Structure 1
Amino acid sequence: MHKLLWGAVLALMLVGCDAPREQVTVHEREAVPDNLSAWHVVEAIDGKLTLNERVVPYDLNTALFTDYAHKLRTVWMPEGTSAAYGEDDFDYPVGTVISKTFYYPLAEDGSVLRTDDYSGDFAGSGLNLDRVKLIETRILVKRDDGWQALPYVWNDQQTDAVLEIAGDAKRLKLVSTDGSAEEFTYVVPDFNQCAGCHADNHTEKAIRPIGPRARHLNKEYTYQSGKENQLSYWQQVGFLSGLPELSGVPQNVNFKDTEVALAERARSYLDINCGHCHNPNGPADTSGLMLAHDEQDLRRLGVCKPPVAAGTGSGDRRFAIVPGHPEESIINFRVESTDPGAMMPELGRSLVHEEGAELLHNWIAGMPGNCSKS
C-alpha cells in the first residue's frame, strides 16, 4: 500500500512538470520548416517569446533603421564550435543560427508605439507578449556552402511564425509619445530581397551577416547576469575565438550619443544603414559613392561628388554632399524621401527616420568648404 501511494504521488508530480524543451534544431537547406518554432531558437511559450538554452541575445552600437521597429537579435552555435574573430567579418561555423525578431511595443488601443524605450518589452532575456506586437523573425543559418536567409511572419495570435518566401505586408498605425499617429505599411522582404541586402560583396554574391561584426558588437549588453562587453561575453561562452585586446578592436558609436563628435555619429549611421551596399565591392559600387566606416576619401564619401545618373533619384541636386548645405545635397534628399524611386535605403523602410535625417542634416550643415570649383 505504501509503495502504491508513492507511485501515485510520483505520477502526479511528473504530470505537473513541464516537458523538457527541445534543443535548437538546424534543418537541412532542402527541408526548412514552415514554422519558426521548429527551429527551437525563439519560441512563444506561456506568454513569452523565450530564448532556448545557449541562444545568446545581442545588440549593435547603431542599428539599421526599420520603420521604428524594435529588434531582438540572437546567435546560437553548435556545441564545441566558435566563430573566428576577424576585424571585418567573423568566420562563423557551419550550423550557426542568427535570428532577428522585429516587433513593436503595444499601445492600449492595439496600435504600435514609436519609442526608444525598451524597458517594458522584456521578460527575462525574451519578450513579454502582452506588451509587444510581433511582426517577423528572420533566420540566417550557415550551411556548408554559405548562408541561407529565411523570413518568418508571426500570426495574429503570436503563437508561431510561418515561412513566407514571398514576403508580406502589414498595415499598422504608429503612435508617438506626443499622441500623434501615422499609418504605414510594414513590408516584410521576400527571399530575394533578403539575399540582395546581405550580399554585400557584389562580385561573390554570397549572403553573410551584416550586424554581428566586431565594430557593431563592441559595446556593453545587459545580460541577466549583469552588464558585460558583448565580444568578451561571446569569448567566455565559447562563441568567439581569437579576440584581441578590446583596445585594438574597432568600434562604431551610438548615433544618438550626443557626447560623441557629430561626424563619428553620422559615419556610424551611414555605415550600418548604407555601407553594406555603398562599398567598393557592394551592389552600389558603380555609383562611386562609398559610405562604409573605413572610407577616407572625401570625394568618394560624397563631398562635391556628382551623381552617376541625374533625375528622380538625385532630386535634381548636383552633388551627393554640398558642405554647409544639406538642402542642396542628394544624400539628404534621398534619406528624407519615401518615394520608392528615390529613397535610400531603398528596402526596409516605408517611413522617414526623422532622427537619422536630422543627424545627417546637422552633419552636412556644419561641414566647412564649398563645391564652387567642382
Structure 2
Amino acid sequence: MSSFARISSAILALAALAGCARTPQPVHSFAEGKPDKLSDWHLVEARDGRLVPNTDVVPYDLNTPLFSDYAHKFRTLWMPKGTTAKYDAEGPFDFPVGTVLTKTFFYPKTGGDAKAVARTYDTSRDFAAGSANEALDLATVRLIETRILVRREKGWEAIPYVWNAAQTDAELARTGDAIALELVDTEASKAGRDESRPANAREAFTYVVPNENQCAGCHVTNVKAKAIEPLGPRARHINRDYAYAAGAENQLAHWTKLGMLAGAPDAAQAPRDANWHDAKAPVAERARAYLDVNCSMCHSPTGPANTTALDLRSANTDLRRLGLCKPPVAAGRGTGDRLFDIVPGKPDDSILLYRVTSNEAGVMMPEMGRNTTHKEGVELIRDWIAATSGNCDA
C-alpha cells in the first residue's frame, strides 16, 4: 500500500471513530447512587452548539412556571421503554420506577460579560434554529444548573448539577452553589412595561442552587408522607400545546400518543391553569395560577404550611382559606403589621402582597428559590387584590 493510501485509510478510520463518538449513548437511569456528571445520564447533552435531549427524552413546559429569579427553564421527561404513567386529575401522575425528569435553568445572554444575563420573557432566541422548542442554542443562552428527579424503588430522589464555565457538562453539586449574576433589563423600553425602570437597568444578585436537602423544602407536599414528588407534571400545569419539531400538540395528548400516559381525558375535560403572563386571560385566573404554582406546594391541606389554614391551590373555592379577610395564625414581623392575608380592594393592606414583595429572610414568600422580587408577579397580585370585592369590616 502506498504512503498516500495508508494516510487516506487512517483519515477515514479517524473520521469513522469521530462519527461514532458523536452518536448519543442510550439513557442511563441509575437505580442508585449519584453520578458525578450530568452527561453520565445521557438525558440532555451539550453537543454541536446545542443542548439536546436524547432519543425518547420528551421536552415539556408549564402553563405558569415557578418564579426562579427570572431564569428560563427547559424541562424533559424520560421513562423506561414499555412503561406508562397513570393520569391523576389533581396530584402528580403515578410515574413508573426508572422515570427521570430534568429541569435546566438558563438565561439568555446579553452580549456583555459572563455574569450579565437578560431579564426578559422573550424566548424567541432560546431555541436552536430548526429545532422548534426541542434544543437550546448555546450561542444565545447561558446554562446555570440542571436538576434531576429520578423515581427509584424507594421513591423520588433529587440530584442537582451545576454547569461548568465552558458549558460542556454539569457537575454534581451535593451542597448546592451560589453564583454571582447581574440581571440586565432588556424589556423595560417595550410597550406595557414598567416605565420606572430604564432600559438596560442592571440588578446584581446571587443565584442560589439548592443543596440536596433543600429540594425537600418544596418537593415534600405532604407532611405525613414526607416523600419528595414532582411538582410540574400535573394535569393543570401541562394541559397546553408544545412546539415539537413535528408540530405543535397538546402535551397530554402527545404523552398519551407516545404510550407514556394512560387514563388522561381529552384536553378540554382536563383541568388547566391559566398562563399568568397572558394579558387576555382574566386577572383572577392568572393570579390564582401564579399562587398555585409558587405557593400551593406548602399552602394546601396536606402541605408543610397547612397549620396556617391558607389554601392557595387554584382549585380551592373556600375564599376564607384563600386568605380573604383571614387573620394570620401567628403574628410577627412577617405580617408587616397588617391584619389580614388579603383585604379585598386594598392590596397594600394585605399580608400576601407584603410577603411576595419582600426579599427579607423570615418575611419573603416563598421562603426559598428566589433572591429577587418578581416585579411583574407582584403587580399581578396587586391588580387581583385591587379588583377583588368584599369588606373585612362586615
With normalisation by structure 1, the TM-score equals 0.96
Shift of 1:245: 2.0
Q: Contact 2:221 / 2:228 at 8 angstroms: preserved in 1?
A: yes
Residues 1:128 and 2:128 are matched in the alignment: no
Task: Name segments (4+ residues, structure 1) moved above 3 Å.
Answer: 5-13
Q: Contact 2:358 / 2:364 at 8 angstroms: preserved in 1?
A: yes
Shift of 1:285: 0.3
How many pairs does the alignment contain?
A: 371
C-alpha deviations, 1:68-111, integer Å up to 9, x for none? 00000000001111111111221101100000000100111131
| Structure 2: runs of 5 or more not aligned | 187-198
Aligned to 2:177: 168
Distance 1:127 1:324, change over 3 A: same
- d(CA) in 2 for partners of 1:333 and 1:229? 37
Shift of 1:316: 1.1
Aligned to 1:352: 373
Aligned to 2:191: none
Aligned to 2:77: 75
- d(CA) in 1 for partners of 2:50 and 2:387? 46
With normalisation by structure 2, the TM-score equals 0.91
- d(CA) in 2 for partners of 1:13 and 1:116? 42
Q: Contact 2:250 / 2:267 at 8 angstroms: preserved in 1?
A: no
Q: Contact 2:253 / 2:266 at 8 angstroms: preserved in 1?
A: no
Q: Contact 2:181 / 2:205 at 8 angstroms: preserved in 1?
A: yes
Q: How does 1:262-277 map to 2 (within 5 A)?
A: 262-277=283-298
Structure 2 residue corresponding to 1:139, chosen from 136, 145, 148: 148
Q: Which amino acid aligns with 2:125?
A: G
Q: Secondary structure at the match of 1:365?
A: helix
Shift of 1:17: 2.3
Structure 1 residue corresponding to 2:117, chosen from 112, 117, 138: 112
Aligned to 2:325: 304
- d(CA) in 1 for partners of 2:369 and 2:14? 51
Q: Which amino acid aligns with 1:168?
A: D
Shift of 1:282: 0.1
Q: How does 1:1-374 map to 2 (within 5 A)?
A: 8=9, 11=13, 14-15=16-17, 17-19=19-21, 20-29=23-32, 31-88=33-90, 89-110=92-113, 111-123=116-128, 124=131, 125-177=134-186, 178-373=199-394
- d(CA) in 2 for partners of 1:72 and 1:11? 37
Q: Which amino acid aligns with 1:78?
A: P
Question: Sequence identity, in percent?
Answer: 55
Aligned-pair RMSD on alpha carbons?
Answer: 1.8
Shift of 1:14: 2.1
Q: Contact 2:31 / 2:98 at 8 angstroms: preserved in 1?
A: no
- d(CA) in 1 for partners of 2:221 and 2:18? 50
Q: Contact 2:61 / 2:75 at 8 angstroms: preserved in 1?
A: yes
Shift of 1:343: 0.3
Q: Contact 2:328 / 2:339 at 8 angstroms: preserved in 1?
A: yes
- d(CA) in 1 for partners of 2:212 and 2:15? 46
39-48 vs 330-339, greater mean Cα deviation: 39-48
- d(CA) in 2 for partners of 1:33 and 1:251? 36
- d(CA) in 2 for partners of 1:183 and 1:13? 46
Q: Which amino acid aligns with 1:59?
A: D
Distance 1:339 1:33, change over 3 A: same
Q: Secondary structure at the match of 2:268?
A: helix
Q: Secondary structure at the match of 2:311?
A: coil
